[in-house]
Structure 1
Amino acid sequence: MNIKPKVVLNQVSSASEKCASQIHLLPCHLGYTGGANVQAYFQREKVDENGNEISTFRGHLLNGSVQKLPDGYKMFVVKERFNNKGETECDFDPIRYPVDQFFIQHEPQEINTLFIGGEQQVFDAEASTSDFMLWEYDRKPSERNPLPRAINFLRIANDLAVDDD
């Protein structure tokens, strides 16, 4: 049986607005998941007043732009939680939401824990934000990238759902 992944939110106050610095989405996979001294080693240069920037990463030119989520949407950075036996914890009544590669919720309640997958993996929200920096190799981020297109579809859907009265 194929179990589709689910996101489950624990509605606990003290949501994570801990995002002191900006979230960066790079066009590569890194084999490291810990903290990094980004400010010291990831030098950025503003290109224009729209928030576009350039940088390099491991010798590759990167073009970046700030992507703002529509009003009422937040992006969450999550970290898997394990109990002292190395097992995933699952000890409260969930509310289920479908998930894809990252988690964006409309009108988020105060949360600090997510459940994902058929095995009820537990993830704690480490940070949340309403905008992030999207980087592309050798070209400016544009509508060719699926992420800005998806964000634009959210805006279009919200505009179509508004009552004219």
Structure 2
Amino acid sequence: MSIIVENNLKNTENQEIFEQKAHYIPCKIEDDGPANVQKYFDTYVKETDGELTASFRGHPLDGAKLKVPEGYSAIIVTEAKRPLAEDSERKFQVAGGFKEFINWNWDKKPSQNDNIVRAMDWIDISEAIHGD
């Protein structure tokens, strides 16, 4: 199976499309459709002394803002039509991007021990090992 990512936005003058808000929430939602995050989630996010709190379906969340490492880009991709066969070629289109996101936890305060934070640390480690 091959995956193709088409970037139809690379020559766009509108940089706002690359400054979308993103949230990383540790849950699985059985839907790929649009969600009115601004109305039903963002309005309930509270920031006190740099700490973010919210709730999702009654579960309390603690969050922290994280920046994408310098020199890297985070993109949002969409797939218009998923193929019927698993080994078929898949095509995705770039729908936008972001430079920072909010990492949410259910049961603990965000820290340097969170998996997503540790994964981003590996970018620096990899560059130190494999860089020039």
Q: What TM-score does the superposition give when structure 1 sets the normalisation length? A: 0.63
Report whether the alignment pairs 1:137 with 2:106: yes
Q: 2-side partners of 1:138 and 1:87: how far apart?
A: 37
Match of 1:68 in 2: 67
Q: List gaps (5 residues or longer) in structure 2.
A: none
- Mapped to 2, the partners of 1:11 and 1:41 lie a distance apart of 30
Give 1:123 shift.
0.7
Q: Secondary structure at the match of 2:79?
A: strand
User: Which SS does the other structure have where 1:135 is aligned?
Assistant: strand
Amino acid at match of 1:70: P
Q: What's the CA shift string for 1:61-117, capped at 9, x where partnerless?
A: 1011111121111111111123xxx858xxxxxxxxxxxxxxxxxxxxxxxxxxxx8
Alignment of 1:6-155 (within 5 A): 7-10=3-6, 12=8, 13-14=10-11, 17=15, 18-42=17-41, 43-49=44-50, 52-82=51-81, 118-155=87-124
Per the alignment, do residues 121 and 161 of structure 1 end up closer, same or farther by CA in structure 2, a change over 3 Å counting? closer
**How large is the RMSD of aligned CA atoms in angstroms?**
2.8
The change in CA–CA distance for 1:36 and 1:158 in structure 2 (over 3 A counts) is: same
11-20 vs 25-34, greater mean Cα deviation: 11-20
Q: Deviations over 1:24-64 (max 9, x none)?
A: 11111112222222222111001223xx3100111111011
- Using the TM superposition, name which of 119-128 and 138-147 deviates more: 138-147
Whether contact under 8 Å (2:19, 2:97) holds in the other structure is no
* Matched positions, count: 126
Q: Distance in 2 between matches of 1:137 and 1:11?
A: 34
Give me the whole-angstrom Cα distance separating, in 1, the residues matched to 2:3 and 2:67: 23
The amino acid that maps onto 2:114 is: N
Q: TM-score, normalising length from structure 2?
A: 0.76
CA displacement, residues 11-30 of structure 1 (integer Å, 9 cap, x when unaligned): 65336951554111111111
Amino acid at match of 1:72: G
- How many Å apart are 1:157 and its aligned residue? 3.1
Percent identity of paired positions between Structure 1 and Structure 2: 27
Higher helix share: 2
